[in-house]
Amino acid sequence: MNKDLISINDLSVKEIEGVFNLTSKIKRNKSAFANKLKGKSVALIFQKPSNRTRVSFEVGIWQLGGNCIYLGPGEISLGVRESVEDVAKTLSRYLDAIVARTYKHSDVLDLAKYSKIPVINGLSDLTHPCQGLADLFTIKEKLGKLKGVKLAYIGDGNNVCHSLMYGSMKLGVNLKIATPKGYEPNKKITRESGIPLGNISNDPSEAVGSADVIYTDVWASMGEESEAEQRKNIFKDFQINTRLAAKAKKNYLFMHCLPAHRGEEVSAEILDSKHSIVFDQAENRLHVQKAILLSLLAI
Ligand code: CP
Ligand code: NVA
């Protein structure tokens, strides 16, 4: 594996399969991995709020016997109190790995560039690789396969969408994306991921048609709060509700990275239905991230 995990695009298919195999082992037998990070320290540098990413990394590091240091927005003031380069060089002298949640993707890239230790992207404005890996692991766990699975991503062409694009194309998932006009995924990522251009549209009904899995995320991501009201109107036809979900396969699964807004991107009825696997998805963040840490630290 590369030194860092910045994007799923950094991983080969073999490396992803290796992470998934290790994840299954860790999930089955937690205690067998209890001392793997003994004597090691990992810092979480977070510029944005978090529930799942922060808690699953902290608990995961603790379960592996390691030490975790949370550095929230007020602590390091990445790039404000000190340059990203100096933070990276300093922390490399103390730590064994860094997990970073930033506004600018370039800040994660710079942390990785200037640090001697692995840097894991815990969400930037461009990608959310830990989420994408946990999501694909969850689909495999539920459906027993990934190849040919029809995954419909409906909503904003954002960081979560981008990671699903990279991962789906590598693993043979048939990903269809529908966004409002002007909210399509990043063009460079579209090109790099190799997703067929015909799989991206502005038609949620078409994208959800015969889907095995329906996926959505918030309409306004962290950092886009000022656009939230305006987006509610622009995205209103992209809500996952019973009318739209009726176009999917009968036993479709519903996924959401969370946090969710009932009544906006998804109706309460769908989010709380038997189709919804959002908390299995959230749980798998823990297991997958433990596997990522061990893989990057070559343990
Ligand atoms: N899905 C996810 O990353 O959640 P948090 O923002 O709560 O970490
Ligand atoms: N797209 C969302 C994901 C949150 C986990 C955001 O960036 O806020």
User: Which residue puts its alpha carbon closest to atom 6 of ligand 1?
Assistant: 50
| Residue 299 scores a pLDDT above 90 | no
CA of 160 to the centre of ligand 2 (A): 7
Confirm whether 156 is a catalytic residue.
no
Average pLDDT over residues 228-236: 98
Average pLDDT over residues 56-85: 95
Instruction: Delimit the domains of the chain by residue range.
Output: 8-128+285-296, 131-281
Q: Is the CB of 51 under 6 A from ligand 1?
A: yes
Q: Among 151, 152, 136, 131, which residue's Cα sits nearest to residue 221?
A: 131
Per-residue pLDDT reduced to its tens digit, 122-163: 999 999 999 999 999 999 999 999 999 999 999 999 999 999
Tell me if domain 8-128+285-296 and domain 131-281 are identical in fold: yes
CATH architecture of the domain covering 131-281: 3-Layer(aba) Sandwich (3.40)
Residue in this structure with the two tokens 């004597």, named with its chain if needed? 39
Task: Tell me what percent of the residues of the chain surpass a pLDDT of 70.
Answer: 100
| Residue 8 scores a pLDDT above 90 | yes
Average pLDDT over residues 43-65: 98
Whole-model pTM? 0.98
Q: How far does Cα 60 stand from its chain's mean position?
A: 16
CA of 101 to the centre of ligand 1 (A): 10
CB 98 within 8 A of CB 43: yes
Q: CATH topology for 8-128+285-296?
A: Rossmann fold (3.40.50)
Ligand nearest to the CA of 54: 1
User: Which residue puts its alpha carbon closest to atom 2 of ligand 2?
Assistant: 221
Look at residue 157 in the predicted model and tell me its pLDDT: 98
Please give the Cα distance from 116 to 114 (Å, whole number).
7
Confirm whether 275 is a catalytic residue.
no
Ligand nearest to the CA of 57: 1
Look at residue 296 in the predicted model and tell me its pLDDT: 97
Average pLDDT over residues 166-182: 98
CA of 106 to the centre of ligand 2 (A): 17
Average pLDDT over residues 257-272: 98
- The mean predicted confidence, pLDDT, of the chain is 97
| Residue 2 scores a pLDDT above 80 | yes
Task: Tell me what percent of the residues of the chain surpass a pLDDT of 90.
Answer: 97
CA of 251 to the centre of ligand 2 (A): 27
Q: Is the CB of 217 under 6 A from ligand 2?
A: yes
Ligand nearest to the CA of 289: 1
Look at residue 175 in the predicted model and tell me its pLDDT: 98
The sign of the CA dihedral 106, 174, 279, 257 is positive
User: Which residue puts its alpha carbon closest to atom 7 of ligand 2?
Assistant: 221
Confirm whether 161 is a catalytic residue.
no
Average pLDDT over residues 32-51: 97
Other Cβ atoms closer than 10 A to 233 = 9
Q: Is the CB of 218 under 6 A from ligand 1?
A: no
| Residue 230 scores a pLDDT above 80 | yes
| Residue 298 scores a pLDDT above 80 | no
